[in-house]
A and B are shown apart, each in its own frame.
Chain A
Amino acid sequence: MTGRRGRTVVVTGLGAVSPFGTGVKAFWQGITAGACAIRPITLIETEGFRSRIAAEVPGAVGGSARRARADRLALTAASEALDDARLSAAERRDAALMVGAVGGGMLEVEAWYWKRWRGAREHPDAGRERPGAGRERPDAARATLPTSHADVLSWRLGLEGPRETVVAACSSGAASIAMAADLIADGVVPRALAGGADALTRICYMGFNALRLLDPEPCRPFDRERRGMSLGEGAAFLVLEDAESARARGATLYAELAGHAMTTDAFHVTSPHPEGHGMIGAMREALASAGAAPADVAYVNAHGTGTAQNDRIEARALRAVFGEGGVLVSSTKSMIGHTMAAAGSLEALATVLAMTHAVVPPTVHLTSPDPDVPFDCVPGVARAASLPAAMSNSFGFGGQNVTLLFRAC
């Protein structure tokens, strides 16, 4: 079957802000300890909603308070990745920038909108803004869009290569990595910064509550008693590079991004295809693009949201591709929740780290295995394991499927 297309793509830099704090180290320590970062929400009001917990990024997120939270998360993670890759200013200029985003600056715009709406109700005569109030709006109005992260990162980090913001629901952070890999493999750019960022928003929180998809307790992916997702927030970026160029400049090579694929269920706005056709297609195409066989893959970092439906269909898809018990599986969302546009990139990061450290992070809260999930989901405790190749899956809301396949360098 088809082997690799074009140039070999490797990972040479890592950066993250997660519910375990700032930095890749804090993230890795948290997930290998099997800690749970899902707690009562502090950022927004939760009165009257069924599920009132999420995995928030703790403490102050670096950067100017005038910037949207999601922009700051993105900037912090992206800066770490670029510093980690030790790129010069000239090397940054040529780098592409692909950002997965969904909420953008919605958290701040919501605050402004809520205040304006409630203010007008309480004081109907105060409909006219006070002088100077318009100045609050420029930042709020303009930072709303998901595209804001890419503009902030390019400006602050000196990136002048191809720039895109992809919105693919829960797969955004993985789609950006796949898109960047294509540009490098095709020789358009020698390197790219790719990842995703999302801050908790009222819209996301209320929406998933309304859909009854959130567990009032921390989520339990793959557990027989699972009752839904938990929300999270964060950002992660990878520096991807043409292998030859990376070796020539003495970069550290974490892993090779050997293959990837993107498919669309085109089935229903919220439900995946019941037999996981799109999921299966993405996994098989990713394997084919890497010239790899299912038996080559030792570990799959699952989408694993903890909803009854996702986990069941995902397990079915995994079984179709790998056979029962054919691979270790775990869900990082059990610890950091579903970080939306950051999920694909935080989980790609977890996958790369698992390979470099030869440790598989666990699925926590997994106490009663589900017979419909015929895999070792690494319950509770991280597992030492040599991983010559590992896969990261993001199966987004409404059928946007992205699979990334990494191979040890």
Chain B
Amino acid sequence: MEPKEVKDELAALLVSRLKFDPARAAEVTFDTPLPKGVDGSIGLDSLDFIELGIAIEERFGIVMDESQDLAEHFASVATLCRFIAERATQR
């Protein structure tokens, strides 16, 4: 999958699973940070990341290895898209 496709799917998940306003989700760019407390981020906390993880597993058929620290992949839209795109092609 191309990162741009992944980004669009992610935006859809922000709406369907994380209850973001569609207008807000549409504004999200590759540079947008994800975690709460970071300037310009969409403000996701631990509960949001759990939900997002479930949604990504389901939508992209990826299995997340909980024994690994995946925090770096969830830093921004760009890192997350890369993470997903890499694993989605490995299947």
Residue of chain B at shortest CB distance from A268:
B45
Chain A: minimal CB distance from B64 (Å): 10
A contact residues around B72 at 8 Å (CB): none
Chain A: minimal CB distance from B69 (Å): 13
* Interface hit among B2-10, B19-27, B46-54, B81-89: B46-54
B49-84 Cβ-contact flags toward A at 8 Å (1 or 0): 011001000000000001000000000000000000
A210 to B47, CA, bound (A): 10
Residue of chain A at shortest CB distance from B64:
A212
The answer on a CB contact under 8 Å between B54 and A210 is: yes
- A271 at the B interface (CB under 8 A): yes
A11 to B62, CA, bound (A): 54
Q: Which of A252-280 contact B (CB under 8 A)?
A: 268-271
- A133 at the B interface (CB under 8 A): no
- A211 at the B interface (CB under 8 A): yes
**Quick one: which of B47, B50, B54, B66 contacts A269, CB cutoff 8 A?**
B47
A210 to B55, CA, bound (A): 11
A contact residues around B51 at 8 Å (CB): 210
Residue of chain A at shortest CB distance from B47:
A270
A212 to B66, CA, bound (A): 9
A319 to B29, CA, bound (A): 45
The answer on a CB contact under 8 Å between B46 and A270 is: yes
Chain A: minimal CB distance from B10 (Å): 19
A246 to B46, CA, bound (A): 49
A contact residues around B45 at 8 Å (CB): 268
A210-223 Cβ-contact flags toward B at 8 Å (1 or 0): 11100000000000
Interface residues on B, range: under 10
A211 to B45, CA, bound (A): 13
A269 to B50, CA, bound (A): 14
**Quick one: which of B46, B50, B66 contacts A210, CB cutoff 8 A?**
B50
A210 to B67, CA, bound (A): 16
A268 to B54, CA, bound (A): 21
B contact residues around A211 at 8 Å (CB): 47, 50
The answer on a CB contact under 8 Å between A212 and B50 is: yes
Chain B: minimal CB distance from A41 (Å): 21
A376 to B54, CA, bound (A): 38
A379-399 Cβ-contact flags toward B at 8 Å (1 or 0): 000000000000000000000
Chain B: minimal CB distance from A215 (Å): 12
B contact residues around A210 at 8 Å (CB): 50-51, 54
Chain B: minimal CB distance from A48 (Å): 11
Residue of chain A at shortest CB distance from B46:
A271
B contact residues around A268 at 8 Å (CB): 45-47
B contact residues around A271 at 8 Å (CB): 46
Chain B: minimal CB distance from A334 (Å): 22
A271 to B54, CA, bound (A): 19
A177-212 Cβ-contact flags toward B at 8 Å (1 or 0): 000000000000000000000000000000000111
Chain A: minimal CB distance from B54 (Å): 6
Residue of chain A at shortest CB distance from B67:
A227
A27 to B70, CA, bound (A): 42
Residue of chain B at shortest CB distance from A270:
B47
A32 to B63, CA, bound (A): 41
A301 to B54, CA, bound (A): 34
A154 to B44, CA, bound (A): 45
Chain A: minimal CB distance from B49 (Å): 10
A212 to B51, CA, bound (A): 10
Residue of chain A at shortest CB distance from B45:
A268
A211 to B46, CA, bound (A): 10
A contact residues around B50 at 8 Å (CB): 210-212
A-B residue pairs in contact (CB < 8 Å), sample of 14: A210-B50, A210-B51, A210-B54, A211-B47, A211-B50, A212-B50, A212-B66, A268-B45, A268-B46, A268-B47, A269-B47, A270-B46, A270-B47, A271-B46
Knowing that A210-B54, A268-B45, A269-B47 are A-B contacts, what are 11 other residue pairs whose CB atoms are under 8 Å apart, sorted by A's residue number? A210-B50, A210-B51, A211-B47, A211-B50, A212-B50, A212-B66, A268-B46, A268-B47, A270-B46, A270-B47, A271-B46
Q: Which residues of A contact B (CB under 8 A)?
A: 210-212, 268-271
**Complex A-B, nearest 4 residue pairs according to Cβ-Cβ distance, in ascending order:** A270-B47, A211-B50, A212-B50, A271-B46
